[in-house]
């Protein structure tokens, strides 16, 4: 199939127009300072404090229980009991981590919708994601998590 010069030119113009049109809409990116939200958002702070208290209590209970059982169990059973206690504490930790993520994600989804943002990223001080531009929504997130 041979294309004439005119057909090739029209094809190239069409492709160029599509490329130009596809680059017209810029993405609106919001960013947060996750560390600041962890320190300043009351809902996040209370969830972290509650989680830490329950995890600490579970660790203390497990240690007490294991200390009582140590003399009455074989080494193998004792190691299994230790592993069970570690799994229970890890499960609590994961549960609170999931709750924390859900709260933050819900707040950020609301902010993204309100401000018509295409994405919201965590712009950590050590590893910047947004170098230039972007909209800082950290204060909005802290206010949503009052």
Q: Tokens for 146, please give them.
A: 């009052």
Predicted pLDDT at 2: 52
Predicted pLDDT at 71: 79
CATH number for the domain spanning 140: value is 3.30.910.20
- Say what angle helices 75-115 and 42-69 make with each other, to 10 degrees: 170
Total domain count for the chain?
1
pLDDT tens digit at each of 146 positions of the chain:
455 555 555 555 655 545 444 455 678 999 999 999 999 999 999 999 999 999 999 999 999 988 888 878 888 888 898 999 999 999 999 999 999 999 999 999 999 999 999 999 988 777 777 777 889 999 999 999 99
Provide the residue range defining the domain that includes 49: 5-144
Predicted pLDDT at 13: 62
């Amino acid at each position: 199939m041979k294309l004439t010069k005119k057909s090739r030119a029209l094809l190239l113009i069409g492709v160029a127009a599509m490329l130009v049109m596809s680059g017209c809409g810029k993405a609106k990116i919001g960013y947060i300072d996750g560390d600041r939200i962890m320190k300043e958002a009351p809902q996040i702070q209370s969830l972290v404090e509650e989680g830490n208290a329950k995890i600490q209590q579970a660790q203390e209970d497990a240690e007490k229980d294991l200390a009582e059982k140590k003399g009455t169990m074989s080494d193998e059973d004792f190691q299994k009991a230790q592993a069970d206690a570690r799994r229970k504490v890890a499960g609590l930790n994961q549960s609170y981590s999931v709750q924390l993520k859900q709260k933050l994600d819900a707040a950020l989804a609301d902010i993204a919708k309100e401000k018509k943002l295409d994405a919201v990223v965590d712009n950590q001080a050590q590893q910047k994601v947004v170098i230039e531009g972007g909209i800082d929504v950290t204060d909005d997130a802290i206010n949503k998590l009052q």
